[in-house]
A and B are shown apart, each in its own frame.
Chain A
Amino acid sequence: MSKKKESHKIVFNSEKEMPMAPMSLGSMLYNKTGAWRNIKPVIDLSRCIKCGICWKFCPDASIDIVDDWPQINYDYCKGCGICAEECPQKCIAMVEEEK
């Protein structure tokens, strides 16, 4: 499994230091939500037709297209299974995560 999630908890001491809106101070890249996953999508590329539907449907933008092929970013994929459901070839399997 991926290395332990880094902790970035910040506690402000004064409201004056805080932004006015509920917002992160920067990008959320450090928050590797892949650790939440119980089942993971595995693509059988031999049956993939490179339609890009999984890439379009992924609600967390965790599927990249690399040289025309879909590639799942397991650092952030939460294992929701939408890609597997939408895949017209049914070539994405949701497999138990080993922890």
Chain B
Amino acid sequence: MKKVIMGNHALSYGAMLSRAQVIAAYPITPQTQVVELLSEMCADGTLNAKFIKVESEHSAMAACLGASLAGARTFTATSAQGLALMHEMLHWAAGGRMPVVMGNINRALAPGWSIWTDQNDSLSERDTGWIQFYCSSNQEVLDTVIQAFKVSEKVMIPSMIVLDAFALSHTYEVVDIPAQDKVDAYLPPFNPPFRLTPDDPHAFGGLTSPDHYMELRYKLQKDMEKVPLLVEETGREYEKMFGRYLGQVDAYLCEDAEFVFVTSGTAGYTARVAVDELREKGIKAGNLRIKLFRPFPFEKVRSILSRVPKVAVLDRNISYGHHGIFYQEVKSAMFGEPVQPTIFGFIAGLGGRDITRDSFKEIAEYALSKDKAEEEIVWIGVKK
């Protein structure tokens, strides 16, 4: 069934179709309509789940962890400052191997107060051990929630589905809503290898001496390394059942490209229009949209970019005192490769400033006119 829905509700429908059993959330700004619709679904019986209202995002994630540990499929959503408040509990989720799936609407962090998009909220949680997917359409958001439960529960690592504020969260698009029985066939009920139950008592998250802590972290990393292949497999399986492939990256006209934008989120969609315009002018451009950010899709990125002479990475985020974060990551992935592209780093769109076709035009003009970057950060659109 096709529906015209906003990105927030694409998350809600994804959680509903995945038959989430516990949803815990804090319902105030920067929260969005994701959990509003889910609370209505719980109230009218559309979704047979326990909806827990809590007093903060920290508590929201804590409630999700208890539920997940008890064996429930668990979902929540947040944004910006709310995600920052969850920070401690994000480490608990990944370190305790609880496969919660969460939607995060990319909103810029205060101060100054902002409800508009940029990626610093989710990228600040880069090293918590969560899987991160950056989406660029409402359809992809809905599909990825279902896929994320499958991936997360397989490796017992939580997933964050990330989407741009307003540009996706409040933008209405046509979304194909899969049939429940088909989703059930794709995503079996959650059956964790361990759980909190009086029938088989265990204590979780207790004191761990230097004898064992490092091994637990080694195991988390080893399982994280399995995720790219798992995303590939579950994405192909999804394609077979629903006709839409869900991959680690989305490469647009990269095969013969001499110049490639590296993008994420909705900017990755705008970039395709910019690529088409450059191609009309005879410039062999392409766009590599990184969807899976953690774990980083090293193999995909290397195989695509190693044959490209020039690469322009667009960041809607910044690591202060360093560079754009995707730029760092792409450079790190390409370092030591036998053939390396010239990589330029651009920062645009912080705090919700629009990233338009003209932004990409400016990026292309800069990168194509220079042999190497003259500055580590090329700012696009700053009023100097």
Contacts and interface: CB of A to CB of B under 8 A. Distances in A.
B201 A27 contact: yes
B230 to A, nearest CB: 15
A59 to B, nearest CB: 15
A19 B216 CA distance: 8
B196 to A, nearest CB: 9
B205 A22 contact: yes
A12 B97 contact: no
A18 B202 contact: no
Contacts, number: 52
A19 B308 CA distance: 44
Interface string B180-208: 00000000000001100000011111101
Interface residues of B, number: 21
Contacts of B212: 11-12, 18, 22
| A interface bracket (residues with beta carbon within 8 Å of B) | 10 to 19
Contacts of B66: none
Interface string B220-245: 10010000000000000000000000
User: Does more than half of chain A's interface fall in helix, strand or loop, or is it mixed?
Assistant: loop
Contact of A22 (B156, B201, B216): B216
B219 A18 contact: yes
User: Does more than half of chain B's interface fall in helix, strand or loop, or is it mixed?
Assistant: loop
B211 A11 contact: yes
A33 B194 CA distance: 25
Given A18-B219, A23-B206, 6 more contacts: A12-B215, A22-B205, A23-B194, A25-B202, A27-B201, A28-B206
Nearest to B213: A22
A24 interface: yes
